[in-house]
Structure 1
Amino acid sequence: MTKTAAFPEPDQTGGQPAGLRAALKLPSIRVLGDFVKKQGTELEEREIPDYEVLYFPEGTLSVYRVGEREFSLNKPCFVLTRPGEVHSYRYDPHKPTRHLFIHFWLKALPDDLLAVLQPDGPSVIPYQGELLFSLMKQINAIAFLRPDKLQDRGSLLLLSLLSEIDALAADESPETERLPPQLAKALSVIDSHPSSPLTVDQLARQVGWTPEHLARSFSRHLGMTPKETIVRKKIDRACQLLLYGRMSVKEIAFEVGFADENYFCRVFKAAKAITATDYRAKYYKPKYEDLAPANDEDALYPSNRVFFGDF
């Protein structure tokens, strides 16, 4: 049996305040919350007149069904339901299931919609991270603490959230190959030891693989050997020290784990097509004097870099 949620239809203005929100065609938030469903419960088949975005912060045995398709929510993920889609949920039979949700109207015309909100868009988008999870929690916090500001502040955050989900969906494809966890750990170990000698055997032991399997995985996923990756990371660190410090080339060679200055210089030139001395002379700027070399291990972008928008 199909059930329709009893949400009132929007008025002639779409429920949107005049001014900036209307001009930007921001979404209008209808209903939202952060619920924990008991194990073994269900949400019966229904059809809603608006859009709904949900986030399940933990993988569970819950199942989302929309039309004739069924999705296992066994990974942290977003679920998107569009107007008119008949859908239902079966929650994990063994443990409670938490999910955050937001119902919203859109004022944009169909051809202005984000691809992820189009009728043929994806229903489930895997995501494990804090940023978008925090956005959903912040929108709920605004609804509780400052409900008078929900349509102003909350709608802006919701538009940002939907834009990021759209980007996630665009990047997600069956051909997309994720790094094995052991390989991700190996890269983390390399990043965290920029100044220490590190052999392939030591790296393999730390991730629980044989050196041979580690080498094959590096070549397959990264297009270089573990040794080449270690050397590249050391040279990248040396470049930072050349630009942001006053150490001599010899001191930098020792700092990044090379026992021989001449060997370091040969490796540096092979990697950068320029000597370390010439690199410093070409790229050093006095404005870098107050910057310190940074470890970018956990960053999605390089530190000590200015980014420019398009105009």
Structure 2
Amino acid sequence: MPDNMRDDSFEDGKTSIRSAIHLPSIRLLGDFVMKAGTALGERDIPDYELLYFPEGNGTIYRVGEREIALSQPSFIITRPGELHRYRYDPLHSTRHLFIHFWLLAFPASSLPVLLPNGPSVIPYEGEFLVAMMKQIMAIAHMNPDRLQERGSLLLLALLSEIHSLSVEEPLAGETKRLPPQVLQALDAIDMSLAFPLTVEGLAKQVGWTPEHLSRSFARHLGLSPKETIVRRRIDRACQLLLYGHKSIKEIAYEVGYTDENYFCRVFKTTKAVTATEYRAKHYNPRYGDLAPFIDGDSLYPANQLFYGDQ
């Protein structure tokens, strides 16, 4: 339904429902990959942070006087005022997803896992909870004006499931992954962004007809294959703009555009700002510690911050 045809009373109702059940409020989130041997210095934060490290490695998390080796995939909960730091794996890049959030009127006692004496590290190697966290990231990227409305509900459910993990309650099952052919097509796109890509070529690689591939993309991703290619190219360009020093022309070529002017038009149409403006607005020296990362399973780009309430 077009925005101008929405019932304002319905929108107001959603806002009042959100206030009535006191959902957590998402402030900041992202999916970053840190270079081997880098670190996050000692700090404390005014809000809560939920993190997930999908691979066990040599990363060390220090909270208070305790040091915890993240040798297996784990969730981490950092509470307001807790002094903590990270030393990332010295040999391999380290990926982590994170969500900063406020509780506001939501009582922490409703989820004991958030209380000061709750666990800091909760091992988890399944897919269901990670899919929930990734879905929140995808909403922030693809539908940011619905982040608080939809993402906060998912975050509350995710925290509840993590609490269940912390008291060793059984999980309720796993979500279904994307069809293998769709995953294969996404991987093929990500590995070939610098080269010409066609729906017909992708369909041939995965053993489907172009029509079936297009229907599957629309059903599972909400985008056509051509729209997905453009989105992945521009998302990769955003990464290159933020943690590299290549020119706009070089970046355009690297993501498959031989015409710099055409790339700039597509970038502005997609991001509502020029590539130069994007770099000036979002560049931060800390991006120098980020490593390039490709994940065909994700519906959002890694190494990019998404903002909720400030």
Scaled by the length of structure 1, what TM-score is found?
Answer: 0.49
| Larger RCO: 1 or 2 (CA < 8 Å, sep 6+) | 2
Scaled by the length of structure 2, what TM-score is found?
Answer: 0.49
